[in-house]
Amino acid sequence: MARTLIHLPPEPKRGEVIDIQVTIAHPMETGFRSNDQGVPVPRDILTHFECRFEGHTVFRAELHPAIAANPYIAFTWRVEGPGTLSFTWEGDKGFQQTETVALKVA
């Protein structure tokens, strides 16, 4: 399991536009580099990120080799109400990880 950081305001109001900031520990190996033996290092990047609220997608991103290691993604979202936000990263070598956060609404 990769380490993740998920930051959102503790108790936003319904209808409020909030910032959601997520970081995941990932090497984002481009596939364009060689190791010290001259052997190409195979590509190992994240390719998709998706944030869902109660199952429906609220934000989605495609990631590419030029994105640095430990990618940080920030986006805004209008709070629909209390519920569960899930964050899913997918990538090479069958990488898939989902983190969930229970959202309380003031």
Cα separation, 106 vs 104, whole angstroms: 7
Contact 95, 30 (CB under 8 A): no
Structure tokens at 42: 């195979």
The only residue of 13, 15, 72, 104 in contact with other proteins, by rule CB under 8 A: 72
Contact status: 51 vs other proteins (CB under 8 A) = no
Contact status: 3 vs other proteins (CB under 8 A) = yes
Contact status: 66 vs other proteins (CB under 8 A) = no
Contact status: 7 vs other proteins (CB under 8 A) = yes
For residue 100, the minimal CB distance to other proteins (Å) is 17
